[in-house]
């Protein structure tokens, strides 16, 4: 398991987790395994310096990244993350997971990802805009509607996408709405995009729960991360009759064995910036989350949250990966041995990229769909993906993650094989 990028720390977690996942799927790929190294080596990795004039007149330099992992099936697709811990290793892994995700859902995209190492909460709005515009300018030669289409991720939102779209359009000399997705609706964004990832977690979770004969009504649900993804998934599960018994975010962990209102918690977080202090639940330690009695667990924060130790503690019967890469490979093994079913990130949280695909299609045609049409199409694609992955898992007697990787890798490597290597011998 190697990469040609010698300047990447091989001991860091996210990229090594991805490489371990690729190794596990190799025995199932037959003759296509000849091309497996194409998935271990990102096609392109760009590191940029992002100088910003701060409000006090000083100049600060931030490090930015854009990685295009694989473009065999179409233009790159992937978010832009503003976070203090962003580094090349993380962005490489996230771009690779996007490659797998798009192929698993059979979307006509490759995988990409970008980010800046910054805490956006420490910047003024004006500084954040200058940072976004300069970063966009620095990566503008490798992005575009037919090249690579960024979207929001951790620390970014529709406003950031509007600035990116505007900056790129200025450099092109005309408005190019399709250069990013996740934009405000009045700038070419799609209805349903904001809630799409959380909705996808709910749809895939219900589909698998049905196969496990696990009733959603009355099920105890715990959520790690109460941002866009976790909160929307929690509300949908609550509406379906489940009990939200625990939620953890960057401000703390709250618990009520009888359940509490996800809608009221959403409103509380909007006003207070986090779940800490919510009156209808008690504060517990962050590590106590892993001992809470639950039926369904939704990790919707950052990668690398379910360790081997926590996998032994977790009481859930079903894990829905709302975040990218939340489960370490050794934790995967432990949960599988314990009979815990994991709906892997590459299908579970793919609702966002699916509706991003819808937004891109709408921008390219200048014809927009209703939210009902969006949700209907999204639900069908997510359910079809679950059915295909479940069938492949049954056929190969493997877990859902390995099955999803088989489906995705077969599509990617077949495209690589059919396209060939340029130049030939």
Strand order in the sheet with 110-117: 44-53, 59-70, 110-117, 76-83, 148-152
113 flagged as catalytic: yes
Is the peptide bond preceding residue 29 cis, with omega within 30 degrees of 0?
Answer: no
Q: What dihedral angle (degrees, nearest 10) is formed by the CA atoms of 174, 366, 192, 100?
A: -80
The answer for residues whose C-beta is within 8 angstroms of residue 175's C-beta and 6 or more apart is: 169
* Bridge partners of residue 149, in order along the sequence: 77
Q: Which residue is listed with tokens 């790690």?
A: 224
The answer for residues whose C-beta is within 8 angstroms of residue 210's C-beta and 6 or more apart is: none
Are the C-beta atoms of 38 and 72 separated by less than 8 Å?
yes
- Among 176, 201, 1, 198, residue whose Cα is nearest residue 96: 1
Distance set, CA 214 to CA 192, 209, 316 (Å): 28, 5, 11
From the list 77, 113, 220, 317, the catalytic residue is 113
Q: To which H or E segment does residue 271 belong?
A: helix 262-272
Distance CA 357, CA 418 (A): 24
How many beta carbons lie within 10 A of that of residue 326, not counting itself? 26
Distance CA 63, CA 173 (A): 27
SS3 assignment, position 79: strand
Are the C-beta atoms of 274 and 250 separated by less than 8 Å?
yes
SS3 assignment, position 80: strand
Please give the positions annotated as active site.
113
């Amino acid at each position: 398991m190697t990469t040609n990028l010698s300047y990447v720390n091989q001991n860091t977690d996210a990229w090594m987790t991805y490489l371990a996942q690729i190794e596990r799927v190799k025995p199932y790929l037959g003759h296509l395994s000849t091309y497996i190294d194409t998935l271990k080596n990102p096609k392109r990795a760009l590191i940029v310096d992002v100088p910003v004039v701060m409000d006090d007149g000083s100049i600060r330099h931030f490090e930015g990244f854009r990685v295009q992992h694989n473009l065999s099936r179409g233009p790159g697709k992937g978010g832009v993350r503003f976070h203090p811990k962003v580094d090349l290793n993380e962005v490489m892994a996230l771009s690779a997971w996007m490659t797998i995700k798009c192929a698993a859902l059979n979307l006509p995209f490759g995988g990409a990802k970008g980010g800046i190492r910054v805490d956006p909460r420490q910047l003024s709005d004006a500084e954040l805009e200058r940072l976004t515009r300069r970063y966009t300018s620095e990566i503008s030669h490798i992005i575009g509607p037919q090249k690579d289409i960024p979207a929001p991720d951790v620390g970014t939102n529709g406003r950031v996408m509007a600035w990116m779209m505007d900056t790129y359009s200025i450099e092109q000399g005309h408005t190019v709405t399709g250069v990013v997705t996740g934009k405000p609706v009045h700038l070419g964004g799609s209805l349903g995009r904001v809630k799409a990832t959380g909705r996808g977690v709910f749809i895939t979770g219900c589909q698998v729960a049905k196969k496990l004969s696990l009733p959603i009504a009355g099920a105890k649900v715990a959520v790690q991360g109460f941002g866009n993804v976790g909160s929307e998934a929690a509300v949908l599960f609550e509406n379906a009759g489940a009990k939200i018994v625990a939620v953890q975010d960057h401000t703390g962990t709250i618990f009520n064995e009888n359940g509490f209102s996800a809608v009221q918690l959403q409103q509380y977080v909007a006003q207070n910036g986090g779940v800490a202090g919510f009156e209808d639940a008690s504060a517990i330690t962050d590590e106590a989350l892993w001992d809470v009695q639950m039926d369904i667990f939704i990790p919707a924060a950052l990668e690398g949250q379910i360790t081997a130790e926590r996998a032994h503690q977790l009481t859930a019967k079903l894990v829905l990966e709302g975040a990218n890469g939340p489960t370490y490979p050794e934790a995967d093994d432990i949960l599988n041995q314990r009979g815990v079913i994991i709906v892997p990130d590459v299908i579970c949280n793919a609702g966002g990229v699916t509706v991003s695909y819808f937004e891109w299609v709408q921008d390219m045609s200048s014809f927009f769909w209703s939210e009902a049409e969006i949700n209907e199409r999204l639900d069908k694609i997510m359910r079809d993906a679950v059915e295909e992955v479940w069938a492949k898992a049954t056929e190969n007697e493997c877990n859902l993650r390995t099955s999803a990787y088989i489906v995705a890798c077969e599509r990617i490597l077949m495209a690589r094989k059919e396209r060939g290597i340029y130049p030939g011998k």
